[in-house]
Amino acid sequence: MKSNISHKIKHREEPNDEFITPIDLARSLVRLIPVKNKQKILSAAYGTGNFYRVFPSDTKNLFTKDFFKWKEMVSWIIDNPPYSCLDEWLEHSADVCEEGFAYLLGLHNITPKRIEFLEKKGFYITKIHLCKVFKWFGISAFIVWEKNASDRKIVDYDRIVWR
């Protein structure tokens, strides 16, 4: 039987990268990061500022609305980045972070290719916290990458496409 339903996928001209993180979730996730006093923390995907608003008060808290123009080195980046440019986002994060970065991502965005790329840049996943946000698609993962933490990495992978 042939269906009359069209299965064409409509692509947006502009991606919808705005998914507001509930502030209580942001607060809970920020507590998972081993931030030290006086370190610079950047909210690189500052939208409503929910992550920025819950950064520790004893750190130097920074934000930007144009991350790709950001050049200053920071200790940490903590945020919910846009998925439409995630590869470029991760690469730029590795270029400007001294300690690490932590991002709230859709679980399906954690791929061996991305993990391998960041490990080659010296960043290793040291924590994965799974959570669910009402009205968001699927399970989200708050991923913490730390620089030079290969002895504490918690993810193993292969890049084989199995048949």
d(CA 25, CA 163): 39
Q: Would you state the pLDDT for residue 6?
A: 44
8-state DSSP, 12: P
pLDDT over 80 (residue 12): no
Q: Would you state the pLDDT for residue 3?
A: 42
- Per residue in 118-162, pLDDT (tens digit) is 999 999 999 999 999 887 778 999 999 999 999 999 999 998 989
44, 93 in Cβ contact below 8 A? Answer: yes
Which residue ranges form the domains of the chain, and what is each CATH number? 23-152 (3.40.50.150)
Please state the pTM of the whole predicted model: 0.86
d(CA 145, CA 69): 22
18 pLDDT tier (thresholds 50, 70, 90): low
69 pLDDT tier (thresholds 50, 70, 90): very high
Helix, strand, coil percentages (3-state) for the chain, rounded to 5, are 25, 25, 50
